[in-house]
């Protein structure tokens, strides 16, 4: 039983998704692609013999042969494609952010509620990462007691040219915010953002940042983002509980001893670091889609992440603690 997938937005990430579906995910067949740049769409279609090219994402979503949708287009376009997918009753895996405004996120929540069941999975792949899953299981086991503080470090060697301004919050810390909610099973209440001395290579990017989030339980989340740190892609994390702590270790394939040092490798980018997470995420999406369902992070998770990062942007500017005001959680997303 094969799920026929249409991919909206086939830039670098979309093409990576296509390759992943072809080489790592049995039971999926990419049958349609779409992109604002037609040439890019044709290029992507060639990766998969027989995929049809659509000029408009909405047409792809409506196409009879498409059973499930992957949205990896430019962030501001996510909302319309997700809404179209819901309208078409098709499972959709949408890259983060779910939408770039609170209103759009909220509209998606309403649409899904109106449809009556979940159709949206948001691309917070970390929730499928075996390391974060082990972290969550450790907390659940009681081994560290009630969690009090979560420290998260999100470091990129460098960022692409289109990365500017406050994307350290909206594009980078957004992952840490979601994983904090996942690990702590708690919601953000307020956010504070501190901008230390700027990295000399950071241009207009607010880098590094230290973001503090007060959770409803009183637990504190401290997120360090450093997106020009040169040495590699390094995801740090430690949950500090009442009686213990759990953290992500460095995990090189080998240790090399040479020249007075023992040396391990740090991954160069998120592709390598989260490759297993993406594999598992896509398999989960396809397995659920085969049954007309979705699994994993929901539209509610996407909504909270967007509202929190937008409050963070405000806090960075105001230099004050800003509240994170969430609408009531719809029943569809009850835990």
Give, as ranges, the residues between 140 and 199 that touch a copy of itself (CB under 8 A). 143-146, 148-149, 151, 153, 155, 194, 196-199
Residue choice 43, 234, 330, 332 for contact with a copy of itself (CB under 8 A) = 234
Burial of 57 (0-12, 13-18, 19+ CB in 10 A): buried
Integer Cα distance of 121 and 21 in angstroms: 16
Nearest residue (CB) to a copy of itself, 89 versus 218: 218
Count interface residues toward a copy of itself (CB under 8 A): 77
Task: Give the three-class secondary structure for 319.
Answer: coil
Q: Are 280 and 128 in contact (CB under 8 A)?
A: yes
Is residue 281 involved in binding a copy of itself (CB under 8 A)? no
Angle at 10 between CA 34 and CA 289, to 5 degrees: 75
Q: Tell me how far CA of residue 39 lies from CA of 43, 52, 95, 131, in angstroms.
A: 6, 13, 22, 38
273 binds a copy of itself (CB under 8 A): no
Binding mask 22-51 for a copy of itself (x = CB under 8 A): xxxxxxx-----------------------
CB neighbour list of residue 19: distance below 8 Å, 6 or more residues apart: 47
CB of 143 to a copy of itself, least distance (A): 5
Using CB under 8 A as the binding rule, whether residue 332 contacts a copy of itself is answered as no
101 near a copy of itself (CB under 8 A) = no
End-to-end CA distance of the chain: 30
Residue 318 lies near a copy of itself (rule: CB under 8 A): no
Cis ω for the linkage preceding 49 (within 30 of 0): no
- Binding residue (CB under 8 A) for a copy of itself from 135, 173, 183, 315: 135
Site string for a copy of itself, 239-268 (x = CB under 8 A): -xxxxxxxxxxxxxxxxxxxxxxxxxxx-x
Q: Compute the least distance from the CB of residue 165 to a copy of itself, in Å.
A: 19
């Amino acid at each position: 039983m094969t799920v026929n997938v249409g991919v909206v937005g086939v830039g670098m990430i979309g093409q990576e998704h296509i390759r992943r579906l072809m080489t790592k995910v049995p039971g999926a067949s990419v049958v349609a692609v779409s992109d604002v740049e037609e040439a890019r769409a044709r290029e992507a279609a060639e990766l998969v013999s027989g995929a049809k090219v659509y000029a408009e994402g909405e047409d792809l979503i409506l196409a009879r042969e498409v059973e499930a949708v992957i949205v990896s287009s430019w962030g501001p376009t996510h909302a319309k494609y997700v809404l179209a997918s819901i309208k078409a009753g098709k499972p959709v895996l949408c890259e983060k952010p779910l939408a770039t405004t609170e209103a759009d996120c909220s509209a998606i929540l309403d649409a899904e509620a109106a449809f009556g069941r979940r159709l949206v999975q948001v691309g917070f792949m970390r929730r499928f990462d075996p390391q974060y899953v082990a972290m969550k299981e450790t907390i659940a086991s009681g081994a560290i007691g009630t969690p009090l503080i979560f420290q998260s470090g999100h470091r990129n060697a460098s960022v692409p040219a289109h990365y500017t301004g406050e994307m350290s919050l909206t594009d980078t810390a957004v992952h840490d915010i979601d994983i904090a909610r996942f690990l702590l099973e708690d919601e953000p209440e307020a956010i504070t953002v501190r901008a230390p001395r700027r990295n000399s290579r950071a241009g207009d990017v607010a880098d590094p940042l230290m973001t503090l989030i007060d959770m409803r339980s009183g637990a504190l989340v401290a997120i360090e983002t450093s997106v020009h740190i040169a040495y590699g892609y390094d995801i740090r994390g430690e949950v500090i509980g009442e009686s213990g702590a759990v953290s992500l270790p460095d995990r090189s394939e080998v240790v090399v001893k040479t020249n007075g040092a023992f040396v391990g490798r740090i991954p160069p980018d998120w592709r390598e670091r989260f490759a297993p997470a993406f594999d598992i995420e896509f398999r989960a999406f396809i397995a659920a889609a085969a049954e007309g369902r979705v699994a994993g992070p929901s539209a509610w998770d996407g909504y909270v992440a967007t509202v929190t990062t937008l409050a963070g942007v405000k806090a960075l500017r105001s230099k004050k603690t800003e509240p994170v005001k969430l609408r009531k959680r719809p029943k569809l997303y009850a835990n």
